[in-house]
Amino acid sequence: MADSVNTLPFFYGNITREDAEDYLRQAGMGNGLYLLRQSRNYLGGFALSVSYSGRCYHYTIEREPSEMYAIAGGKSHRNPVDVIDYHSQEMDGLVCLLKKPCNRPRNMQPKVGPFEDLKEKLIREYVKQTWNLQGAALEQAIISQRPQLEKLIATTAHEKMPWFHGIITREDSESRLQNGSRTNGKFLIRQRDTNGSYALCLLHEGQVMHYRIDRDRTGKLSIPDGKKFDTLWQVDTMISCIFKCLVTVVISPSEAMPMDTEVYESPYADPDELRSSTVDRSHLFLEDGELGSGNFGTVMKGIYKMRKTEKSVAVKILKNDDNNPSVREEMLREANVMQQLDNPYIVRMIGICEAENLMLVMELAELGPLNKFLQKNKQTSIKNLTELVHQVSMGMKYLEEHNFVHRDLAARNVLLVTQHYAKISDFGLSKAVGEDQNYYKAKGHGKWPVKWYAPECINYFKFSSKSDVWSFGVLMWEAYSYGQKPYKGMKGNDVLQMIESGKRMDAPLNCPPEMYDLMRTCWEYKADIRPGFAVVEPRLREYYYDIAQ
């Protein structure tokens, strides 16, 4: 496949997103002008770059396990050319039809990537040593077995890289990085164990940071809940441009994915900490001062003593004033939903404590609600904003996959553990939906956050993951407007009339056009046209990683 794609005049090889945009600009940026390039993230994958209305859009074409090719969430095809032919007739999620190829300049060959440089040499070495072949027999073996050989070599190519140090201890990795020049961005990758787990060890400000790289059941690698890759050398490509030595420039660790630390892992990641739905009051210590309050009562900060460790926690305490049974039922219903969820980007429920009051003990996110944080921190970068909304999309994708509808997704219900780590909270309105019926039908209007609700919620009381996607679009608007209130000065009925007339909120000041386009996609009037989080999350992920590099 790679050889046939190389002959396409509009295939540019291993160029960057920025290079692709430059070529499209040089060719006039006509609507539907496109080029094809090699994916830097997916083994055997490609990226499609398209111009429309003076902007550039980028779509990943992944190679599926079946050897078919597809844009995330789209129809599968035999090869990238068929993908392009299809999208020249059908938009199917693209911003426009593909109309005209942007061919390479005369005498320019597709750019060869770092793995391609190594590939031929490694394939020849492998066939020569393993099968003891030479000459014409070697060439014939390479031709007949090329797809299998490329896949095999790709999964072992990292062993030839100078930054791969094999099985060494955490202490050894720190010693090696501290030895010699102590440049920010100096790194190595070590093998943690024999189960296919690795660690990226990165020097920053004199300290070594350790990022875990896991292998999932399908064999893909990722920093936990981050973008997945087929091979270890692709993980490195994501973090940095590969140089021939250890010293390189990488994403600042303060802006990277959450690290392998206690704040990131589940409180019950240690098997010795047996998970229980209840919390012993004698192990729970409340601190002075409220974190917040509401109709239910107050939220206090506390310390929960577990078997091996202590956890800082948030404790939601039911007030006893009127002993309202409906409020108690609401809290218990929220606890029941939260106890079924376990994801790094969702506030985890630790347990219920029945003592002087009913208490819900949850993970603590000290920086508080996203909207309030952004109102006070307007210097927050676009990259940081995108990082946070992408994390929210990962949490929502998890809910979608597990058939839960949130029904109250808004920036006020996204809590920050750090400036670079967000968690979805407040599951008081959440509902589980059946696999055979992917929506929840409410009996009537309640105290609903109408400005965050999709039209079908207000008109037909119908809630689904697609209505959560609408709310997510509003949340994105809140984030890129630094915590402003959506539809400011408008009442609920006015908002609904505006939506029914086909109008939508304008883009926030300095909002990236790609992100506003995604918001508009989330605000498609018809739920069946609106994308799910299985489509929204990859688009955000692609954009975030592109700007993070």
- 408, 426, 468, 517: the active-site residue: 408
Length of the chain: 549
The CA-based dihedral angle spanning residues 374, 378, 384, 388, taken in that order and rounded to the nearest 10 degrees: 10
Residue 408 annotated among the catalytic residues of the structure = yes
Torsion 433-438-443-446 (CA) sign: positive
Contact 203, 183 (CB under 8 A): yes
* Pairing verdict, β 46-52 and 33-38: antiparallel
Question: Under a CB-based contact definition with an 8 Å cutoff, are residues 35 and 49 in contact?
Answer: yes
372 is in an annotated binding site: no
Joined together, the tokens standing for residue 483 give 């915590």
Q: Which of 275, 305, 300 is CA-nearest to residue 290?
A: 300
CB atoms inside a 10 Å sphere around CB 447:
7
Q: Which DSSP symbol is given to 75?
A: -
Beta strands in 217-309 (DSSP E): 221-222, 284-294, 297-305
Q: Is 244 left (phi over 0), alpha (psi -120 to 50) or beta?
A: alpha
Decide if 75 contacts 61 (C-beta within 8 A): no
**Residue type at 523?**
W
In the chain, the amino acid numbered 338 is: M
Max Cα separation, the chain?
89
Please give the Cα distance from 332 to 359 (Å, whole number). 10
DSSP reduced 3-state for 248: coil
Binding residues for ATP: 316
Binding residues: 316
Positions marked catalytic: 408
